[in-house]
Structure 1
Amino acid sequence: MFERIAELAIRRSRLVLVVAAVAVALMGVLGAGAFGKLLGGGYDDPASQSSRAGKAIDEKFGGETNLVLLVRASQGRIDAPAARRGGRALVADLKKEQNLENVISFWDTAGPGLRSGDGREAMVLAHVKGDGTKRDENARSVIDAYTGPYEDALTVRAGGGSAVTSEMGTQSGEDLVLAESIAVPLTLVLLLLVFGSMVAALLPLAIGIIAIAGTFAELFVLGSVTDVSVFAVNLTTALGLGLGIDYALLMVSRFREQLAAGASVNDAVRRTVSTAGRTVAFSAATVAAALAALLVFPQYFLRSFGYAGVGVVVIAAVSTLFVMPALFVVLGHRVNSGRLPWAKANRGRTGTRAPMWGRLAGTVMRRPALTALPVLAVLLLAAGPLLGITFGTPDERVLPEDAESRQVSSVLREKFNGNDDAALHVVIDKPVNKAPLESYALALSGLGGVVRVETSTGTYAAGRSTAAAPGNTALGRPDAQRINVVSALSPKSGQAQGLVQEVRAVAPPAGSHPLVGGADAVLVDSKDSVGSRLPIAVALVAVTTFLLLFLFTGSVVQPLRALLLNLISLGATLGVMTWIFQDGHLSSLLGFTAQPMDVSMTVLMFCIAFGLSMDYEVFVTSRIKELHDLGEDNESAVTNGLGHTGRIVTAAACLLAVSFFAFGTAELSFMQLFGLGSGLAILIDAVAVRGILVPAAMRLLGRSAWYAPGFLRKLHGRFGLSEGGPAPEPAAAPGLVTGSPYGKNSTHV
């Protein structure tokens, strides 16, 4: 197959490039509409009890409260005559809004829970209509129209789920623009430093652009038929730019190596595609397999990253395999054009084999235990904070402290007797008589931490009816009942999650099956949903990775060694992220609020980091195996293999890490977690694992590193797809050292 790809590039290079240009233009046009198709939210399991409760409330009670307008009197108390007139006028205007329903206020009900303890502020609760992007647009329209001064007597601020989601979407777009404005120029500078040639540096960037444009087009198509998270865009840009550069870097390096060794342009293309091209294909398969595991989760937030991740990997690999060889044929030796001054100064004295990496590998191979044990100790120590890890879902605390919706949430917790916005919503989807409904509500009100329970028959607190607070008739229907359980517990705390379980354990009215929803219930159900499917995802990643590496190496030991080392590096990365983002270290420097680890983002980071680790595993192992197949002993193959690939892997890791580290500038804390964690995982893997642990493991394993049972050797002989055969290297051109476009002491790939 790879030979045919090379011949296509050689014979039809210009046609391939024209087709690619047209395809990119079409993908760009299609992808431009992706942003209008993508949604916020997506953290809950549609089949969970909390999701079904929310759906029942939408259908029968006009929807859960997802918008809170915090109204403050400009002077005096909120129930003063001027404030009362302004409040009633505000509520009247809100009830006329077609995008709102279930508008409830202090001035309508006089409920004490809707007024602050100091009497200066009150709440207006409402449900914003619509789904996904439409709901965000509707919320933003209402917020823009009503927040700020109102009739001189009031000041209005917006909070609640819709306000938080809307601000998160806006902030995500701003974070993305800032991250890319940092990553793209810095990446180009690093490419120039790596290659020392303007033309060679632009080739990987071109592949990254193709990968991003193609994935945006994919997201547009998928967003038209299913729910796709807006945050998939962030992964597309970071991974598309990074992987496109990784794969192109490997191809350009091998092509220039072949040219420097005296090969003709066509022969150099053939050898590059059969070796580096094959490595790219296997690398892409391992990364795609890791990211495809995200598709087993029901939350569309996670599935969206699977869509984007698999798409960007496949498009980057396909464009690298077809477009890069065609560009090589057209450019030929001009691939080295536009040499920069330092590259010209070193011309004729350099080599692609990196002596430093070869010497490091040699040192490790001579003393594997002495060099590997300190590295293992540091990585295991870094993984220590995982012993105390806790999980949560995104809320207003991921926003900057000056975000309006976050400030409103803080006021609701601190100044109101119970947080109506964070209440648990119990739905009984059938008729219920008054007596059993009251008995059920009384039992709920007696639970620890519950401030009051609101039903259509009355309000209950501490196990008894509150005569001063009549029932809310809007909570009752002939065929259904809704019960609001308001607590004083901090939202998403351990106690609040425990209350969800206690509410679900209370005996309901005979013959009924209550559904418990609300933000805390969503968190409980999300953790259960992710936890139940995580073993399946991990098993899929492990099995597919094992099979792919076996087909690539012909060994059963190499895949096991790769899996073990990757788990160690991933444990260290997740431990450091827990230490930073959960325990709060560096919070003042990075400007975030410490909170439990985002369960979805942690799973996402695991899959991405695992896949990218395997990316570099294939890069390194491919060259080691190539040399081993040429007859070199294990120690020599590892030393020379790392000597040839060490600089490439380091350069690729730095370039890819830049794309992720740029998100460390984000204002959303879970995007900081995603960017810094992924970037750190890449660097740990490229330096500590590939540079030290891999050669140490190979030395300790010895010849058994390439072991496979006889029947599996036969299977690999028939179906294995390892590097291309050992085609003879052409003789070096006069004055050049084999493997170098510049000579013996080159610092360029």
Structure 2
Amino acid sequence: MFDRIAELAIRRSRLVLIVATLAVVLMGAVGAGAFGKLVDGGFDDPDAPSTRAEQVIEDKFGGQTNLVLLVQASEGSVDTPQTKQAGQALVADLKKEQNLENVISYWDASSPALRAEDGRQAMVLAHVKGDETEQGTNAKDVIDTYTGAYEGGLDIQAGGGTAVGNDLSTQTPEDLLLAEMIAIPLTLILLLVVFGSVVAALLPLLIGTIAIAGTFAELALLGGATDVSIFATNLTTALGLGLGIDYALLMISRFREQLAAGAEVDDAVRHTVRTAGRTVAFSAATVAVALAALLVFPQYFLRSFAYAGVGVVVVAAVSTLFVMPALFAVLGHRVNSGRLPWAKAGQTKAGQTKAPTSVWGRLARTVMRRPALTALPVLAVLLVAASPLLGITFGTADERGLPEDAQSRQVLEVLRENFDGNDAAAIHVVIDGPVNEGPLASYADRLSGLEGVVRVEASTGTYTDGQSKAAGPAGAALGRPDAQRINVVSTLAPKSDEAQSLVEEVRAAEPPAESPTLVGGSDAELVDTKDSIADRLPLAAGLVAVSTFFLLFLFTGSIVQPLRALVLNMISLGAALGVMTWIFQDGNLASFLGFTPQPMDTSMTVLLFCIAFGLSMDYEVFVTSRIKELHDQGADTETAVADGLGHTGRIVSAAACLLAVSFFAFGTAQLSFMQMFGLGTGLAILIDAVAIRGVLVPAAMRLLGRSAWYAPRSLRKFHNRFGLSEGGPTPAHTPEPEPEPAAANATRS
């Protein structure tokens, strides 16, 4: 297959480039509409009890509160005649809005819970109609119309779930634009430094652009058929630019290496596609497999990253395999055109080094002379970096992930501080069936006695510490002949351990007259999300491990190499996640980065793990492919590792720096969970490229010796038939015994 691709590129290079240009134009036109089709949310399991509770409330009670308007009087109390009249007029206008229902306010409900303790603020609660996509649009219209200075001397701010979603969707494109403005110029500068010529530096950016355009087109098409999260655009940009550069860098380096060795252009293209092209294909497969594991999770937020990730990997790999060889065939030696002043003719550049004399080759030899002495300090540092994971806790995205000046965040902070209980964070208990008043009242009374509960609101009354009073005007809206709804309001901080424990206590309470209950609300959603992800995490991890093991076996012919790669990758990922926990959960560097410490976002942590794991395997294939090629040519393990790292070390380090820049750029984001994702992924890439590839891989290979290439006889036969390596299909063989270290040193001296 790779020989055919090379011949196509050589004989039909201009046709390939014309088709590629038309495809990019088409993908750009389709992808331009992606943002209009992507949606917010997607953090919840659609089959979870909290989601089913929300659906019952939607169907039978007009929906739960997802919009809170915080109304402040310009002067005096909200109870003054002028403010009361203005508030009632506001509520009347809101009830006329076609996209709102269940509008309840302090002025018509006469509930003290909807009035601030100082009397200067009051709440208006409402439900925005529609699914998650429609709610975003509908909420934005209402927020834009009513917030700010309003008639009658009122000042209005918006909070609640739909307002948080509105702020998130507004902030995401701004963060993405800023990240691109930082990443692209820095990437171009680094490419110029790495290649030393303008033409060679621009080619990886071309592949990155194709990958991004193609993936946006894919997301636009998928967005028209299913729910796709708007946050997938962040991954598309960072990963598309990074992987496009990674793959192009490997191809360009190999092509220039062949030209420098005196090969004709056509022969250089053929060799590049057979070797580096094969590596790109297998590398893309390992990254795609890691990202495809996200499809096992029910939350479409995570599945969206699988759509974007797998798409960007495929487009980057295909464009690298077909467009790059065609460009090489057309450019030939002009790939080195635009040589910059510091790049002298014989200067060492990526893909032009002599492996044994490179820094990475010398480092590998140094490590392998004293593998334990050099590896143990590095391993100790990585384990210390991973140690914060011992105290990790998990949460879900909420208003604390927004900047402090975000309106929805400010509203929810005021609700926690100035109101008696947080109605917006109430636990919602739903009974989907008829219930007699007596058992219902007894059940609500028992719930009011739970620790932390301020009051329980039911159709039969309001309950506080076992005492009840008649239901207010809103009470009638909580009961139907075929269903009942109960609101449990507490003073506990939303998303806290105590609030989650309260959810479990409510769920454990004996239901009224054995009527099944469903428990919802933001805290219940957090509990269900954590349970849902935890239930499916072993399956996702197993799929990643097994498929990665199989792919690396096909590439190396050894069962030890995949195990070594999995162990070392887990160490590097643990270190990166540990540092992120130390920063974003424990609050170190919070003032510098400008975020509020909180538990690690469950979904983003899983996402970081899958992407960083896939990228680490990307570099694993880069390095191992060259080592295996040299080993198959007869080199002993030590020589193969040193020379293999000598050839690929500069490529891997350059690729890692370029890819890390794409992710580190998200450290400028205003959304803290995007900061965590960007910084964590970038750090994981650098740890893997430097500590793992530079030190622990050669140390492990030296300590393993002959056993590094071990495989049972039956698997060796399988690899002889189906195995692949950078140099093409080669029979797997059991190496001859290597000389003892002393004898080897004597031979070299």
Partners of 2:507 and 2:582 in 1: CA distance: 33
* Partner of residue 580 from structure 1, selected from 568, 571, 583: 583
The CA deviation string for residues 223-261 of structure 1, in whole angstroms up to 9 with x for no partner, is: 111111000000000000000000000000000000111
Aligned amino acid, residue 418 of structure 1: G
- Corresponding residue for 2:231? 231
Which segment drifts farther, 339-348 or 450-459? 339-348
- Corresponding residue for 1:241? 241
* Partner of residue 414 from structure 2, selected from 408, 411, 414: 411
Partners of 1:153 and 1:110 in 2: CA distance: 21
DSSP-derived class of the 1:338 partner: coil
* Partner of residue 565 from structure 2, selected from 553, 558, 562: 562
Partners of 2:117 and 2:3 in 1: CA distance: 77
DSSP-derived class of the 2:125 partner: strand
- Corresponding residue for 1:434? 437
Partners of 2:321 and 2:515 in 1: CA distance: 60
- Corresponding residue for 1:110? 110
TM superposition shift of 1:476:
1.1
Aligned amino acid, residue 278 of structure 2: R
DSSP-derived class of the 1:418 partner: coil
Which segment drifts farther, 434-443 or 553-562? 434-443
Which segment drifts farther, 273-282 or 462-471? 462-471
Q: TM-score, normalization: structure 1?
A: 0.96
- Corresponding residue for 2:399? 396
Partners of 1:510 and 1:571 in 2: CA distance: 49
Q: How does 1:194-343 map to 2 (within 5 A)?
A: 194-343=194-343
Aligned amino acid, residue 44 of structure 1: D
- Corresponding residue for 2:180? 180
TM superposition shift of 1:113:
0.7
Between the two proteins, what is the percent identity of the paired residues? 76
1:257–1:352 contact (8 Å) kept in structure 2: no
Which segment drifts farther, 57-66 or 524-533? 57-66
Partners of 1:156 and 1:311 in 2: CA distance: 43
- Corresponding residue for 1:619? 622
The CA deviation string for residues 695-732 of structure 1, in whole angstroms up to 9 with x for no partner, is: 000000001100100000000001111122599xxxxx
* Partner of residue 485 from structure 1, selected from 485, 488, 494: 488
Partners of 2:48 and 2:650 in 1: CA distance: 49
1:698 corresponds to 2:701: yes
DSSP-derived class of the 2:485 partner: strand
Partners of 1:538 and 1:725 in 2: CA distance: 30
TM superposition shift of 1:618:
0.3
Report the CA distance shift for 1:471/1:160 in structure 2 as closer, same or farther (over 3 A).
closer
The CA deviation string for residues 554-597 of structure 1, in whole angstroms up to 9 with x for no partner, is: 00000000000000000000000000000000000000000000
Aligned amino acid, residue 633 of structure 1: D
Partners of 2:700 and 2:501 in 1: CA distance: 46
1:653 corresponds to 2:656: yes
Q: How does 1:4-83 map to 2 (within 5 A)?
A: 4-83=4-83
Aligned amino acid, residue 414 of structure 2: V
Partners of 1:706 and 1:138 in 2: CA distance: 61
- Corresponding residue for 1:170? 170
Partners of 1:108 and 1:455 in 2: CA distance: 18
Report the CA distance shift for 1:376/1:707 in structure 2 as closer, same or farther (over 3 A).
same
- Corresponding residue for 2:524? 521
Aligned amino acid, residue 6 of structure 1: A
Partners of 2:693 and 2:370 in 1: CA distance: 16
Which segment drifts farther, 243-252 or 435-444? 435-444
2:358–2:646 contact (8 Å) kept in structure 1: yes
* Partner of residue 351 from structure 1, selected from 346, 350, 353: 353
TM superposition shift of 1:86:
0.7
1:458 corresponds to 2:461: yes
- Corresponding residue for 2:597? 594
1:454–1:471 contact (8 Å) kept in structure 2: no
Partners of 1:352 and 1:182 in 2: CA distance: 34
1:379–1:568 contact (8 Å) kept in structure 2: yes
Q: For the aligned residues, what is the CA RMSD?
A: 1.3
Partners of 2:205 and 2:98 in 1: CA distance: 48
Partners of 1:467 and 1:457 in 2: CA distance: 7
2:109–2:473 contact (8 Å) kept in structure 1: no
1:251–1:276 contact (8 Å) kept in structure 2: yes
Report the CA distance shift for 1:38/1:650 in structure 2 as closer, same or farther (over 3 A).
same
Partners of 1:379 and 1:432 in 2: CA distance: 58
Partners of 1:308 and 1:468 in 2: CA distance: 50
TM superposition shift of 1:468:
8.2
The CA deviation string for residues 425-447 of structure 1, in whole angstroms up to 9 with x for no partner, is: 11111111111111111111111
TM superposition shift of 1:621:
0.3
The CA deviation string for residues 83-109 of structure 1, in whole angstroms up to 9 with x for no partner, is: 100100110011111111110000111
Partners of 2:728 and 2:52 in 1: CA distance: 58
- Corresponding residue for 1:631? 634
TM superposition shift of 1:131:
2.1
* Partner of residue 725 from structure 2, selected from 686, 708, 722: 722
Partners of 2:630 and 2:656 in 1: CA distance: 23
* Partner of residue 510 from structure 2, selected from 483, 507, 510: 507
TM superposition shift of 1:347:
5.3
Unpaired runs of 5+ residues, structure 2, are 731-749
TM superposition shift of 1:302:
0.4
1:545 corresponds to 2:521: no
Which segment drifts farther, 545-554 or 95-104? 95-104
Partners of 2:448 and 2:379 in 1: CA distance: 53
The CA deviation string for residues 626-669 of structure 1, in whole angstroms up to 9 with x for no partner, is: 11111111111100110111100000000000000000000000
Aligned amino acid, residue 71 of structure 2: V
Which segment drifts farther, 717-726 or 373-382? 717-726
The CA deviation string for residues 345-376 of structure 1, in whole angstroms up to 9 with x for no partner, is: 65599735361111100100100001000000
Which segment drifts farther, 445-454 or 372-381? 445-454
1:418–1:451 contact (8 Å) kept in structure 2: yes
1:65–1:421 contact (8 Å) kept in structure 2: yes
Aligned amino acid, residue 241 of structure 1: L
TM superposition shift of 1:134:
2.4
Partners of 1:126 and 1:151 in 2: CA distance: 20
Partners of 1:725 and 1:675 in 2: CA distance: 36
TM superposition shift of 1:10:
1.1
- Corresponding residue for 2:667? 664
Partners of 1:297 and 1:717 in 2: CA distance: 37
The CA deviation string for residues 128-160 of structure 1, in whole angstroms up to 9 with x for no partner, is: 112233211211111111111222422111101
TM superposition shift of 1:14:
1.1
Report the CA distance shift for 1:228/1:154 in structure 2 as closer, same or farther (over 3 A).
same
